[in-house]
Chain A
């Protein structure tokens, strides 16, 4: 550690005298709205994402409440269909896709690289406003009569639905630009703006994960943009592309849609993997187990992820040969993912584990994501998927991956970098309580859904058979506990940001460069160019004498 910080200690002392923190360097609303500072843009994204998550979450609770009983509880059929569509569309397009890259990535990536900003700061601001514009279209969709197609917009239902399909798809189209801008920015920043000494082999794994994510964002997003435009053209001009009534092919839409939407699953989860790699090392005081295996498996997943979209369509009418190939490739993605989980757990071995809130959430992630990953095996297996397809088993699986994985990693990472972002400490006791509530609530909500799903309960159902009643009731109860846990998270963050104790520069004794500048960082990140002299996980506690016999 000493070798790492010697160039910066002086900088800190001087920094506080001559440089203001990015939060206070400029004042007034306008200074935020037109900022090109990646940290401020990241904070604005963070707040916008939380608002989106809140809207999507309220929709989820309405869905769960309606499902308390097999018949009507709070809303009519058509309204229920809008609840689950709103929940899915908001969570996927407005929360999960941008989530970790646009918020934590934006704030932390340039700091980790020892850079002053991202490569294209104005493009970064444009990305945020594209996000806002897309979100406005989604709000307009709700005001103009809602959307009832499901977040997947399957044709020909979406061609024929009387709801505001065009507004929603145009919103998703605009959001694609936001995603591409972030991706291009990160790729160029990672290639060109690394501090002296920060070689590819010393890149924190969060950076590797964002690199792989950005590749997918740039390569896959244009496909969904084209698909949504074709859908708009079909609805407005009546050119038959997907609607059989006009001579189109509805299954073609599914191919286009999943060609984007499956790779995008990795846009959602890879940054979460990156966060967990940082947290499990820093809070265990251990080097990552298998650095290159984790770094390269992210890139491998990004590429193989482009070749598995057909596993969403095993029963949709694609050829049996295609289904077989897609099933095989799906299992091929499972291997690099399994390697990551093994490596994270092995990293804890012979460490010195601190039970901070980020570490609690990391453990919650390992538990939930393991279930999410393992249950994917049932769905990749052809004969079993025929039974499970479009049941609650699938619903439970992707919530364990997307919420138990990405969202929990988002919480873990936000707690971890909270001192750096706000310059304040949050309350550890409240943090741990929130993790416990979220853990209990999550499992009660979604594990029950595996059971009813494998017993045949189809998804997107408003009424259901009496057999599933008890599982739906437990699931709804779980969702309320989960919501309570998330309010504790919000309370912890708001309270911490307003009145938390001042955060030290490096509260977790991290080794990556973001911990070498003030908390919160100064406007241009570093008072002088930092130089990287050690790897991101070369913690001072590591003792070479403890190497196992026969090793160096």
Chain B
């Protein structure tokens, strides 16, 4: 819930803070349409109110006008709005076109959506969960896909949004203009915790961005100072496991608490009636093919991590889960 405190600032009455190069144009277009609408609405309701007052029935002898149309007026009120609509269309198209094609020098970051977290994969191979760190005043292109259902990546402060689809890449790009933290919302309904599929964009200086990337690469079990459990703990958070699994005894978020899940000799009762030993192989299967053996009392909600977690990193996560006692 910490993300919530980040957005209560700035912007105009109708629009949130402007923190990308798109924001000024989108807002200018918004207010252009807004004031036109206000003018038309006041005109229409003014006429309605005036007619209602002026031509209220006075007596049974009232006589009314035989006017049944006026071609000049009708052409006028078709053509003038028509022209204004063309302006809106054209302006909206130009803004939209600019959002479609990222500059060739944009930093490419991969985004993976899954129920109910985001994973960001940086050019150096580093991964992080729910936090997108980008340098200020540099174009960034996001190449996005989902591992389960539809999601949508929305940063209100940047005025960008794009659906995130399984088995396909969609892209969006932006250039952040002000350092700070901005919320990421999932805006395509994706199930129980849709409203908690939140993230944060941290816009930082170039040196801070580079520093951050170096830190991400630090999760290497082979490197000095990072044992398997410590590395597994980082991966557990970055891959978004914490969105659904607590590590506190008895605290159920969506999936089971993983406290003691891999305790030596533990037997686990499954939804299909079987009981199996909760050994390393069971933990591995639960990560790579989660719906093959579901714990009793839970549903088939978890996406697979096959293809995203392998080798020593998979081992690290399993070791971390085993350490939760």
Contact = CB atoms under 8 A, between A and B. Distances in A.
B5 A466 contact: yes
Contacts of B194: 81, 460-462
Contacts of A290: 68-69, 74
Given A244-B166, A377-B85, A458-B154, A465 B65 contact: no
A327 B163 contact: no
18 contacts: A314-B96, A317-B162, A328-B89, A331-B85, A341-B44, A352-B62, A353-B52, A355-B57, A363-B52, A383-B94, A384-B95, A390-B187, A456-B183, A458-B154, A463-B196, A467-B8, A541-B63, A548-B65
A378 B30 contact: yes
Given A383-B92, A451-B13, 20 more contacts: A149-B189, A154-B189, A251-B165, A286-B64, A289-B67, A289-B69, A290-B69, A315-B163, A320-B100, A331-B89, A348-B52, A350-B65, A352-B62, A384-B95, A387-B15, A387-B159, A387-B160, A390-B187, A467-B4, A546-B65
Interface size class of B (residues with CB under 8 A): 35 or more
Contact of A320 (B96, B154, B168): B96
A51 interface: no
B1 to A, nearest CB: 8
B64 A543 contact: yes
Interface of B: 1, 3-5, 7-8, 11, 13-16, 22, 25-26, 29-30, 33-34, 37, 40-41, 44-45, 47-48, 51-52, 55-58, 62-70, 73-74, 77-78, 81-82, 85-86, 88-89, 91-97, 99-100, 148-150, 152, 154, 156, 159-163, 165-168, 170, 183, 185-196, 299-300
A391 to B, nearest CB: 7
A352 B64 contact: yes
Given A334-B85, A547-B65, A350 B55 contact: yes
A375 B37 CA distance: 8
A77 interface: yes
A459 B152 CA distance: 12
A466 B183 CA distance: 13
B300 A353 contact: no
A361 to B, nearest CB: 13
A139 B121 CA distance: 45
Contact of B25 (A342, A348, A363, A383): A383
Interface residues of A, number: 96
Contact of A377 (B37, B44, B187): B37
8 tightest Cβ-Cβ pairs between the two chains A and B: A383-B95, A456-B156, A381-B92, A382-B96, A350-B65, A244-B167, A352-B62, A461-B195
Nearest to B79: A335
A386 B155 CA distance: 10
Nearest to A159: B149
B66 A387 contact: no
Interface of A: 70, 77-78, 81, 148-150, 154, 156-157, 160-162, 244-245, 250-251, 284-291, 293, 314-317, 320, 323-324, 327-328, 331, 334-335, 338-339, 341-343, 345-346, 348-355, 363, 366-367, 370-371, 374-375, 377-378, 380-387, 389-391, 451, 454-456, 458-467, 539, 541-544, 546-548, 551
B167 A377 contact: no
B62 A338 contact: no
B67 A287 contact: yes
B100 A455 contact: no
A382 B189 contact: no
Identify which of B37, B96, B192 gathers the most chain A CB atoms within 10 Å of its CB: B96
A84 to B, nearest CB: 9
A351 B81 contact: no
B266 to A, nearest CB: 27
B14 A244 contact: no
B156 to A, nearest CB: 3
A214 to B, nearest CB: 26
Contact of A160 (B57, B67, B81, B149): B149
Nearest to A387: B159
Q: Which of A455, A462, A548 has the most CB of B within 10 A?
A: A455
Contact of B73 (A346, A377, A380, A456): A346
Contacts of A542: 63-66
Contacts of A331: 85-86, 88-89
A38 B136 CA distance: 68
A437 B26 CA distance: 36
A323 B97 CA distance: 10
A108 B172 CA distance: 52
A154 B66 CA distance: 52
B30 A541 contact: no
Contact of A78 (B29, B166, B192): B192
Contacts of A162: 299-300
Contacts of B188: 154, 390
Contacts of B7: 456, 465, 467
A441 to B, nearest CB: 19
Given A315-B161, A328-B89, A351-B51, A466 B63 contact: no
A244 B148 CA distance: 9
* Chain A CB within 10 Å, residue with most, of B14, B190, B300: B14
Contacts of B5: 466
A380 B96 CA distance: 12
Given A289-B69, A381-B91, A386-B96, A345 B64 contact: no
Contacts of A314: 96
Contacts of B95: 382-384
Contact of B96 (A351, A366, A383, A551): A383
A546 B64 contact: yes
A289 B68 contact: yes
A436 to B, nearest CB: 15
B96 to A, nearest CB: 4
